[in-house]
C-alpha cells in the first residue's frame, strides 16, 4: 500500500548530529573561503612598462583549490585589494594605461572573473596628531560628527595620498615574504616628518605560526600581516597622540561589523585580554583582526604598551575620502565606503613622545579568523587550580576509609 512508503517532512527521530551539520555547512561554503593549511606564496612588484616605477605589489598565495591575491599599492593613499578565488590558476591582470589615467576603471582585474568568491579593500587615507581632549571627543560624538573630527582638529591631518614613498623593490625580501612601504609628506610646513617616516611593513605566510614580538597575532596561510610604524616624527603638541583613518568597502548598503573577543589568557600580549575583528560578512568571509594595543619601543613589551582605540564604522557618503586608483580600477565607481579612526596612546603613561616610536599590527585574511587557544601556562594554572581540590577530596576520602576500617575490625573481649 502507498501508505507504507510515504515520506514525512522533517527530521523526526533521524535528526542530524552537530558534526553532520558542520560538515554540510563547510561543503556549502565556497572553496576559496574554506582556508588551507599551507600555501605557495610569491611576491612580485608589477613593472610599469610605460614610465617610471610605480609601487604595485602583488602577493599571490596558492593553495590546493584556491588562490588569495593581495594587491598593495601607494598609488594615491596606501591601499590593499583582497581577492579570493576558487581555483589555483587565477591571475592578476594590470592595464597600466588605464590604471594611471583619470578614469582607472577596469585597469586591475583578477581572471577568470567567475572564480572570485570574495573581494574587498582597505584604504589607509590619513594620518593625524591630536590632543587627548580631542581623542575623548572623537569617541563620543554623533555619527556624522565622528567622521568629520579629522577636519576639526587644530593639527591638520596628513593625507597619505600626498606622501612620497620609497621604491618598494628595494625592500622586497623573499626570504621573509615581506616588503615595506616607507614614506613622508611631500608638503610638511611644520617639519613634523623632517627626520621621521611612516612605514607599512607587509608580510605573507605559507603556514600557521606566531611572531616572536608582541602582540604575537596568530597567523595562518590565509592571512597577511601589516605592521604600521611611525618613527622619528616630531609630536605636534604636548603629549599629542597619533592616529590613522581607515576606509573600507561595505558588502552592500551596510558597513562591515566589528566584534570584540575577550579571553582570560594574556601570555602572547601581556595585559591585553581583547581581540578586535572587522568582518565583511557572515563567516567564512574576509576579515581584519588586531589587538587594541600599540607599542612605544622596539621590541614591544608590557612597559611600552599603549592603549589603542577604534571608533565605530560609519558610512562616508558625506565625507570626502582620498581616492585610491587601484580600488577604483578593480571595483569601479563605488561609493559604499565606510570609515573608522584608530588612535594610539593615552594622555597618561608611556607614549610616542618617549622614544619617538610607535608600532601597531593587524591581520588581513579570508575564511575563518585565527582563534587563540589557551596557552600552556594558563592550562597548567587551571589544572593546578581545579586539581588541588579534587586531590584534597581524594586524600580525605582515603583517610576516612582507613579510619573506618580500623575500627570496624575491633573485636569485643566479651
pLDDT one-digit tens code per residue, 322-346: 999 999 999 998 778 999 999 998 8
The pTM for the full model equals: 0.81
CA angle 310, 312, 317 (to 5 degrees): 120
CA-based nearest residue to 285, from 330, 250, 314, 316: 250
| Mean pLDDT computed over 208-216 | 89
In degrees, rounded to 5, the angle at the alpha carbon of residue 45 between the alpha carbons of residues 84 and 31 is: 10
- Assign 409 a pLDDT band (cuts: 50, 70, 90): low
- Across residues 364-393, what is the average pLDDT? 69
C-alpha cell at 210: 606566531
Q: What is the mean pLDDT of the chain?
A: 82
The phi, psi pair for 402, rounded to 5°, reads -65, -40
**Model confidence band, residue 225 (pLDDT cutoffs 50, 70, 90):** very high
178-197: average pLDDT? 93
For residue 48, give the nearest of 68, 78, 73 by alpha carbon: 73
Beta bridge partners of 40: 62
Helix (H) or strand (E) holding 1: none
Q: Is the pLDDT of residue 136 over 70?
A: no
Amino acid at each position: 500500500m502507498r501508505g507504507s512508503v510515504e515520506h514525512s517532512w522533517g527530521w523526526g527521530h533521524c535528526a542530524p548530529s552537530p558534526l553532520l551539520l558542520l560538515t554540510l555547512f563547510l561543503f556549502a561554503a565556497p572553496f576559496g573561503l574554506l582556508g588551507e593549511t599551507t600555501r605557495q606564496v610569491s611576491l612580485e612588484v608589477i613593472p610599469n612598462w610605460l614610465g617610471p616605477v610605480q609601487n604595485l605589489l602583488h602577493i599571490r598565495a596558492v593553495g590546493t583549490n584556491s588562490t588569495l591575491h593581495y594587491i598593495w599599492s601607494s598609488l594615491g593613499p596606501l591601499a590593499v585589494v583582497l581577492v579570493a578565488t576558487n581555483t589555483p590558476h587565477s591571475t592578476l591582470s594590470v592595464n597600466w594605461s588605464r590604471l594611471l589615467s583619470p578614469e582607472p576603471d577596469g585597469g586591475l582585474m583578477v581572471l577568470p572573473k567567475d572564480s572570485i568568491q570574495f573581494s574587498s579593500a582597505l584604504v589607509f587615507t590619513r594620518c593625524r596628531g591630536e590632543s587627548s581632549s580631542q581623542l575623548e571627543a572623537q569617541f563620543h560624538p554623533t555619527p556624522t560628527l565622528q567622521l568629520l573630527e579629522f577636519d576639526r582638529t587644530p593639527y591638520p591631518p596628513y593625507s597619505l595620498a600626498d606622501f612620497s614613498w620609497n621604491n618598494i623593490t628595494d625592500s622586497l625580501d623573499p626570504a621573509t615574504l615581506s616588503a615595506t612601504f616607507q614614506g613622508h609628506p611631500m608638503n610638511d610646513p611644520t617639519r613634523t616628518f623632517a627626520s621621521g617616516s611612516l612605514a607599512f611593513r607587509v608580510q605573507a605566510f605559507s603556514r600557521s605560526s606566531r611572531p616572536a614580538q608582541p602582540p604575537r597575532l596568530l597567523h595562518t596561510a590565509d592571512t597577511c600581516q601589516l605592521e604600521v610604524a611611525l618613527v622619528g616624527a616630531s609630536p605636534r603638541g604636548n603629549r599629542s597622540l597619533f592616529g590613522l583613518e581607515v576606509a573600507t568597502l561595505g558588502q552592500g548598503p551596510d558597513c562591515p561589523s566589528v566584534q570584540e573577543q575577550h579571553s582570560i589568557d594574556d601570555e602572547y600580549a601581556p595585559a591585553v585580554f581583547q581581540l578586535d575583528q572587522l568582518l565583511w560578512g557572515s563567516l567564512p568571509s574576509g576579515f581584519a583582526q588586531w589587538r587594541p594595543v600599540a607599542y612605544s619601543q622596539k621590541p614591544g613589551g608590557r612597559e611600552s604598551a599603549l592603549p589603542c582605540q577604534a571608533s565605530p564604522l560609519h558610512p562616508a557618503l558625506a565625507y570626502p575620502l582620498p581616492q585610491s586608483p587601484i580600488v577604483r580600477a578593480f571595483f569601479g565607481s563605488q561609493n559604499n565606503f565606510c570609515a573608522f579612526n584608530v588612535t594610539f596612546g593615552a594622555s597618561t603613561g608611556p607614549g610616542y613622545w618617549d622614544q619617538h616610536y610607535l608600532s601597531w599590527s593587524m591581520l588581513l585574511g579570508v575564511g575563518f579568523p585565527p582563534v587563540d587557544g589557551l596557552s600552556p601556562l594558563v592550562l597548567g594554572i587551571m589544572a593546578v587550580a581545579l586539581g588541588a581540590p579534587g586531590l584534597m577530596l581524594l586524600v580525605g576520602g582515603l583517610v576516612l576509609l582507613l579510619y573506618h576500617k580500623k575500627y570496624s575490625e575491633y573485636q569485643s573481649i566479651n
